[in-house]
Amino acid sequence: MGVSDAWKGQLLCSLAMVLVGSTVVVSKVIAQDIEPFAATVLRHALALPVFFALMRWRGQRLPRLGRRDALLLTVQAAAGSVGYSVLLILGVKLASASDAGIVAGTLPAAAALFSALLLGERPGWRLVVAIALATAGVMAVAASPGEGLAQGGGGSRLAGIALVLAAVACEAVFILASKRLSVPVPALALSTLMSGGGLLLSILPAWWMAQASPSTLTAPALAAVLYYAWVPTVGGFLLWYAGSARTSGVRASLATVWLPVSALLLSVAFLGESLHRWQGLGLACVVAAMLLAALPGGQDPQA
């Protein structure tokens, strides 16, 4: 794997995480009116036809999978396509978007841990320093006194933070599980399988939850679901899989630091939250980490 190819992969993964970060803001809008499982069904029902159209346009077909790979992809879909979405929507309903963005900062550490446990990767010294810089940047963002910390309160806010932490764990499984496939699956086909799996896995819970918590399909909530389906889902899936195929699990883990940064900046832009000095310091650390990891001559991760 060449340095240039690894850099392209890291850039694609970073762009995917920027889109994933935007889900924190749209989830706040969705949570006000639509039950989380119903929102997940709508998200994948809207995204799946786009994936099939893209596959037809590219002349691709869904691959035949062995039992092990099919089970692995089912776990991946349950974690990322359903678990992350549902838990994040539930979490931001109880906590603020700023809280969710800060808690999402644990994703790089979680993804690096999963990379070591599931993939057996050991990062070279440059990536160790880069991950440390990225973690410091996330800590600086988390330490910044934000309006979100003052919102919510008591047990409900803590419950929201716990739900977002669970969403982070699901996302860590999602972004690395495809590395364990015995046969590589093209990015578009893999994205289609993830969306289809997410739809199938969320239909029954959505029907069951609708009996107790019917949704209100308001215009803002539907617009947020449309965005979630066509931008972070279609765009994010394709960018992530295309990027992770070109780089290592550790480098892909480093790209996840863009998720909390994106979430916080978009919270400022669309929810009117304040941006503080420490958050600027966090951004500087993240950019430095990305540049250090992408410089030529660095040590690649060792399997």
**What pLDDT digit, counting tens, does each position of 165-186 carry?**
889 889 888 877 777 788 888 8
Cα–Cα dist 265/263, whole Å: 6
Question: Residue 226 corresponds to which tokens in the numbers above?
Answer: 């449309």
H or E element at residue 200: helix 187-212
pLDDT score for 290: 66
Cα–Cα dist 240/237, whole Å: 5
| Higher-pLDDT residue of 298, 247 | 247
| Higher-pLDDT residue of 245, 1 | 245
Cα–Cα dist 54/264, whole Å: 32
pLDDT score for 303: 32
Which of 43-57, 97-111, 255-269, 282-296 is the most confident on average?
A: 43-57
Cα–Cα dist 286/137, whole Å: 6
3-state helix, strand, coil split of the chain in percent (to 5) is: 80, 0, 20
| 74: pLDDT strictly greater than 80 | yes
Residue 302 phi/psi, 5-degree rounding, is -105, 135
Neighbours of 283 (CB within 10 A): 18
Cα–Cα dist 302/290, whole Å: 19
Whether the full predicted model's pTM is greater than 0.75, yes or no, is yes
| Higher-pLDDT residue of 114, 221 | 221
Comparing 68-82, 224-238, 247-261, the range with the smallest average pLDDT is 247-261
